[in-house]
């Protein structure tokens, strides 16, 4: 029998698990894997494609974007503790998005004098060996493991995959000592661990009695309201929610939407602010949402009956949650919605259907007021140096096709984007789920990798753009031919910081002296802020606009660049802080 290194068996295990990509930022710890990849290439053996990312934040978010589009977790290889630390913020985001990512980090050699292949042979091997490397990401992973011997590498990876793909999905972390990867083992000692026998665990539907209970509550209610955020992670769920909502006369609110959860063309779509509806509601549904409303500003909302259906209803990783529910169910919401729809359609009679029609007919003025509100916000184009972001985003909306994917990291302008950019197809919108900014560039690249035929539009504020490692984003876009369209909404700083101070101290010293510690510009006449040049440095088409009348032509040129296979960056100076 042939003998191969543990690195060889690691690569073969990734193949067995169906992993297509390794998003990598490598170091001295990966010598055995690099050697094996070269040998596999020389022999013509297929293996996961390596995408090199100059910064780990891009690598992790790319893996997340690909997983979001396909449901398949991918591998990320980073360098010891330094790479783990750089990846940590992105892993926090993946944890909150509930996306499967296999994060692997090499570990500094544990032998000092050449006792084993891979022993320490450079200065950094001494300074990159912390006592508890896994503690860097421990709060944000479902499973962690330090590979003790190459003989278990296949089984360990099968276990890692089972954890990351099981509901609720999430990232896992595996540490790979350099000497361990260099060990050699006979093929007879390295059995396979196929996913069919060592795979993931998924949630399903609920028992018929509970379906009947929820169906009866929905059919009895006179003004039911549903709040959702990430139901659209299952591409079949939005259509089912729309059908159920129309069958029962349920208004649906997307609060802090992470995905497209219901078509904005649906008569049941009721915007993004639950407080406008809940004061008159007599039944509430929480469907796949982490934060359905803000308790401080909605203190009476908790008094109505609530039914919660969620892939993660307990929110076990939130130390405090605080939203009362009368029925709490952990399940696959797509399956449960189909169950409910079948029961309600069977129970519905002409009288019930007439009540639903009358109820929905009464929503006309609310819908009309929403449309008028959004149009009024976008009517004024703004002035030179202070473009109205609503106007810009409304013009962008006219240029987009239904299949285009919009990644929203506009933060304080994020709600404006939701108001102005209509999304009607599942999988065409991605919003904020985690707490770390700088996610949208990497996510956009991962989405483009999964959907090469679709246009991916990233909208990001200037504060988030700083966090996103944009040079790495555009370097990867160029090297791997992944053209994305980036729009930077530049208001000169962190509006979220300023607004938070204003909410807590509306008449305080910061407000009195305009001293919010949020400006990222000196506002000197000679100061330069040319974010688009970062894209140009890596071959992207670059535009910078200060006048509202230049918006439309600039967007057209950027979209033309995408059609030619080039990334594009549009830096827009919007209303400043």
Provide the pLDDT for residue 549. 98
CB under 8 Å to 543, separation ≥6 — which residues? 532, 554, 557, 558, 568, 569, 570, 571
Residue 392, pLDDT score: 98
Q: What pTM, to 2 d.p., does this model score?
A: 0.96
| Helical H segments across 408-484, by residue range | 414-420, 440-450, 462-467, 470-479
CA–CA separation, 284 vs 420, rounded Å? 27
DSSP collapsed to 3 states, 187-242: HHHCCCCCHHHHCCCCCCCCCHHHHHHHHHHHHHCCCEEEEECCHHHCCCHHHHHH
pLDDT at residue 525, rounded to an integer = 79
**pLDDT value at residue 537:** 98
Where do we find the tokens 């003989």? 151
Per-residue pLDDT at 84 = 98
Phi, psi of 409 (to 5 degrees): -125, 40
> What pLDDT was estimated at residue 61?
98
pLDDT attached to residue 508: 94
Token duo for residue 276:
């406008």
Q: What is the pLDDT along the chain (577 residues), one digit of tens a residue?
A: 799 999 999 999 999 999 999 999 999 999 999 999 999 999 999 999 999 999 999 999 999 999 999 999 999 999 999 999 999 999 999 999 999 999 999 999 999 999 999 999 999 999 999 999 999 999 999 999 999 999 999 999 999 999 999 999 999 999 999 999 999 999 999 999 999 999 999 999 999 999 999 999 999 999 999 999 999 999 999 999 999 999 999 999 999 999 999 999 999 999 999 998 988 899 999 999 999 999 887 777 778 999 999 999 999 999 999 899 999 999 999 999 999 999 999 999 999 999 999 999 999 999 999 999 999 999 999 999 999 999 999 999 999 999 999 999 999 999 999 999 999 999 999 999 999 999 999 999 999 999 999 999 999 999 999 999 999 999 999 999 999 999 999 999 999 999 999 999 999 999 999 999 999 988 887 888 999 999 999 999 999 999 999 999 999 999 999 999 999 999 999 999 9
pLDDT in the model for residue 303? 81
Give the model's pLDDT for residue 530. 94
Sort strands 172-177 and 306-310 into parallel, antiparallel or unpaired. Answer: unpaired
pLDDT value of residue 299: 72
Q: Give long-range contacts, CB 8 A cutoff, 24+ apart: 8-12.
A: 8/36, 8/39, 9/150, 9/153, 9/154, 9/185, 9/190, 10/153, 10/154, 10/157, 10/176, 10/181, 11/36, 11/37, 11/40, 11/47, 11/48, 12/154
């Amino acid at each position: 029998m042939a003998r191969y290194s543990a690195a060889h068996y690691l690569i073969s295990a990734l193949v067995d698990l169906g992993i297509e990509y390794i998003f990598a930022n490598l170091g001295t710890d990966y010598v055995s894997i690099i050697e094996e990849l070269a040998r596999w290439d020389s022999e013509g053996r297929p293996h996961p494609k390596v995408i090199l990312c100059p910064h780990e934040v891009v690598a992790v978010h790319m893996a997340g974007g690909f997983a979001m589009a396909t449901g398949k977790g991918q591998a990320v290889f980073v360098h010891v503790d330094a790479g783990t630390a750089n990846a940590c913020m992105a892993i926090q985001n993946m944890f909150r998005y509930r996306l499967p990512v296999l994060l692997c980090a090499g570990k500094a050699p544990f032998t000092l004098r050449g006792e084993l292949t891979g022993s320490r042979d450079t200065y950094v091997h001494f300074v990159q060996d912390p006592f508890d490397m896994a503690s860097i990401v421990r709060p944000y992973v479902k499973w962690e493991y330090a590979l003790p011997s190459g003989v278990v590498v296949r089984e360990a990876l099968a276990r890692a995959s089972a954890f990351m793909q099981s509901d609720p999905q999430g990232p896992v972390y595996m540490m790979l000592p350099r000497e361990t990867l260099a060990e050699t083992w006979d093929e007879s000692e390295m059995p396979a661990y196929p996913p069919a026998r060592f795979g993931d665990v998924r949630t399903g539907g609920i028992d018929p009695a509970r379906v009947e209970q929820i169906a009866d509550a929905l059919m009895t209610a006179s003004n039911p309201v549903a709040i959702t955020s990430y139901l659209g992670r299952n591409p079949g769920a939005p259509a089912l929610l729309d059908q159920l909502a129309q069958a029962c006369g349920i208004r649906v609110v997307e609060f802090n939407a992470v995905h497209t959860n219901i078509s904005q063309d649906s008569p049941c779509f009721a915007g993004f602010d639950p407080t406008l509806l809940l004061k008159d509601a007599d039944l509430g549904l929480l469907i796949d949402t982490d934060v359905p409303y803000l308790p401080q500003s909605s203190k009476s909302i908790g008094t109505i009956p609530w039914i919660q259906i969620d892939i993660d209803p307990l929110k076990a990783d939130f130390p405090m949650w605080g939203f009362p529910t009368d029925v709490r169910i952990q399940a696959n919401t797509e399956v449960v919605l189909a169950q409910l729809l079948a029961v309600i359609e069977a129970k519905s009679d002409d009288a019930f259907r007439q009540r639903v029609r009358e109820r929905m007919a009464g929503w006309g003025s609310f819908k009309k007021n929403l449309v008028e509100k959004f149009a009024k916000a976008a009517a004024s184009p703004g002035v030179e140096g202070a473009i109205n972001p609503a106007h810009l985003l409304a013009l962008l909306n006219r240029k987009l096709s239904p299949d285009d994917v919009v990644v929203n990291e506009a933060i304080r302008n994020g709600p404006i984007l939701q108001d102005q950019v209509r999304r009607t197809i599942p999988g065409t919108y991605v919003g904020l789920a985690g707490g770390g900014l700088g996610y949208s560039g990497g996510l956009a690249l991962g989405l483009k990798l999964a959907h090469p035929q679709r246009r991916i539009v990233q909208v990001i504020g200037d504060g988030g753009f700083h966090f996103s490692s944009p040079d790495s984003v555009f370097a990867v876009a160029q090297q791997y031919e992944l053209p994305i369209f980036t729009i930077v909404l530049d208001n000169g700083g962190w509006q979220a910081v300023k607004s938070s101070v204003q909410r807590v101290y509306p008449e305080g010293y910061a407000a009195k002296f305009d001293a919010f510690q949020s400006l990222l510009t000196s506002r000197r006449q000679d100061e330069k802020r040319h974010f688009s040049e970062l894209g140009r440095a890596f071959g992207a088409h670059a535009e910078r606009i200060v006048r509202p009348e230049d918006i439309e032509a600039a967007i057209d040129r950027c979209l033309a660049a995408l059609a030619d296979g080039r990334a594009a960056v549009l830096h827009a100076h919007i209303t400043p802080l």
